[in-house]
Amino acid sequence: MEIFIEPIGKLVNEFSKLPGVGKKTAQRYAYKIIDMPESEARAFADAILGVKRKVKYCKVCGNFTEEETCGICRTREQSVICVVKEPKDVAAIEKLHEFKGVYHVLHGVIDPLSGVGPNDIRIRELLARIQNGEVKEVIVATNPDVSGDATAMYIAKLIKPLGVEVTRLAHGIPIGSEIEYTDDVTLARAFVERNKL
């Protein structure tokens, strides 16, 4: 005999598909749903369906939006574009309330080992934005790993000749951490990117 009756087993299975969720955690989540009032469970299910139905990609920057173009593209200054890998990177940067420009979501990075070339991500669209725009600076905010670095280099090579400044987020020792405990790669990078005082 199965330990769970079918509807519970099914829900546990669905929760197990979420990132980092094992069998035990999925069970806890399922019990929570069972304990919810019907209306609350319905709201939960509706939120899942709503996200799939309503969330589209902004046709300009590729970020999540409910409209044709996203709220950021519609309202913010267009002279600085921050290039990121995924929409979640936009959310991370927006949280800072620091950056006042617009974004360009690549939806991936150049990664030959996985068969992802420059034409498989939204680099062509970035170029088009720059060519018919008043863009002054492109900040490349891809992750500091091999494919993030390669993508940043590729974009810089492509865009610099157009007279647009290309910058990249600084890498180095995280604020609040200690040199002793900083990993080798980060520490080496901090030396390379050292600044004049």
Query: To the nearest whole angstrom, how small is the minimum distance from the Cβ of residue 109 to a second copy?
Result: 16
Q: How far is CA 156 from its chain centroid?
A: 20
| DSSP one-letter string for 105-146 | E-SS--BGGGTB-GGGTTHHHHHHHHHTS---EEEE---SSH
Query: To the nearest whole angstrom, how small is the minimum distance from the Cβ of residue 161 to a second copy?
Result: 34
Tell me whether residue 82 or residue 130 sits nearer to a second copy (CB atom). Answer: 82
What span, in angstroms and rounded, lies between the C-alpha atoms of 77 and 181?
40
Binding positions for a second copy, rule: CB under 8 A: 1, 3-8, 10-11, 13-14, 17-20, 25, 27-34, 36, 38, 40-55, 64-66, 70-72, 75, 87-88, 91, 94-95
Tell me whether residue 2 or residue 180 sits nearer to a second copy (CB atom). Answer: 2
Question: Up-side HSE of residue 22: CA atoms within 13 Å toward CB?
Answer: 1
How many angstroms separate the Cα of 173 from the Cα of each of 18, 120, 124, 152, 194? 32, 33, 34, 20, 11
Query: To the nearest whole angstrom, how small is the minimum distance from the Cβ of residue 107 to a second copy?
Result: 11
Query: To the nearest whole angstrom, how small is the minimum distance from the Cβ of residue 180 to a second copy?
Result: 27
Could you give the angle at the alpha carbon of 59 between the alpha carbons of 54 and 64, nearest 5°?
A: 40
Tell me whether residue 17 or residue 194 sits nearer to a second copy (CB atom). Answer: 17
Q: State which amino acid sits at residue 62.
A: G
Query: To the nearest whole angstrom, how small is the minimum distance from the Cβ of residue 75 to a second copy?
Result: 8
Tell me whether residue 157 or residue 174 sits nearer to a second copy (CB atom). Answer: 174
Tell me whether residue 75 or residue 132 sits nearer to a second copy (CB atom). Answer: 75
